[in-house]
Amino acid sequence: MSDPANLFAQQEANKRRSFWLVVGFIAFFAWLGFGGDWLAIEATRGAPPGHYHHVVPWFGAVFALFGAGLAWYAWRTGPDKVLWSTGAREVTDPATPAEHQLVDVVQEMAVAAAIPVPRVYIIDDPDPNAFATGHDLTHASIAVTSALLTLCSRDELQAVIAHEMGHVKNLDVRLMTLLAGLVGATALMSDGLRRILFQGGGRISFGRSRDSKSNLSPVFAVVLVLWVLSWLLAPLVTRLLALGVSRDREYLADAMSAQFTRNPLALASALQKIETNEAPSSVIKGGAAHLCIADPLGRAVSSREGRLADFLGTHPPMSVRIARLKAMGYQEQKAAGTFVPA
């Protein structure tokens, strides 16, 4: 089970990670800007009179501000963009028994978790899954796929929602939504540069003469290669940041689900059903995969253990999660005197 010390430690850790993620993101853009300044200064140093000479390093200032603006935009619009990208529709007036049950369960689990009731969304998708997004306890949303509503019993659905409530309460949603927003922003930026380089012929001229270009140092060539690669690989870097977030957040959310529902076996059963369902997600892409209760992309690394898997995997192995939940259920039944050996 979770305890207040673990919860508060996770909340503080997520706040720190969110802060340093933004700092690192802005610093990356500053490198793109000031690195471009240095390249432009070196490339135009020997240009003839009347040609452009790059003197003021204004690229750095502009790009640092641009990075800060992107981070702010990702923070402010991240939850809406994640929901929009998955085609989620908000349930404000339940129209079917399944929608009524979902809204009732979310309200019940919000009371159990002692947090405000999140907004409720449904995603039309054959892959049974769920995720939470938002900024804090008072600005959170929970989305489930239509397949999850069909697949799970009420107790299992309650356990899945309680798991997502755990992510809301320990502020995982803040860090993970920010990551999703930054992944999307850098992907757009990198795609734009690819079009400029490869569709525009890849020619950039600073007005330097042919003879002076041959005098450029090897350091210039190395920095130029690193600078261009930084632009092109920016989405990969941010995706690695998303992958590198500790798997322990899922274990803690599982424990919080067991605490809120007093029924860890219900979540174990729901995860087992989700794991055995083979329908791939049609709408949840890589940028939001780390938000889900189960990896919607079905990556092999999510089923493995070890240091490399801990770094690259967004989710711990489902078999390990299910075993832990069953062990919790055994302990509860044993303490209550209701355990019956198989």
3 state DSSP class of 177: helix
164 is catalytic: yes
Residue with tokens 């140092």, as numbered in its chain: 217
d(CA 122, CA 118): 13
The pair of three-digit structure tokens given for residue 299, joined into one six-digit string: 């990556």
What are the two backbone dihedrals, phi and then psi, of residue 214, each rounded to the nearest 5 degrees?
A: -70, -15
Which tokens sit at 1? 């089970």
> Among the options 12, 99, 156, 164, which is catalytic?
164
d(CA 176, CA 293): 12
Q: Are 77 and 180 in contact (CB under 8 A)?
A: no
120 phi/psi in degrees, rounded to 5? -115, 135
**Residue 139 pairs with which residues in a beta bridge?**
136
Q: Are 174 and 16 in contact (CB under 8 A)?
A: no
Query: What letter represents residue 73's amino acid?
Result: Y
Residue 225: CB atoms within 10 A of its CB come to 10
As annotated, the active-site residues are 164
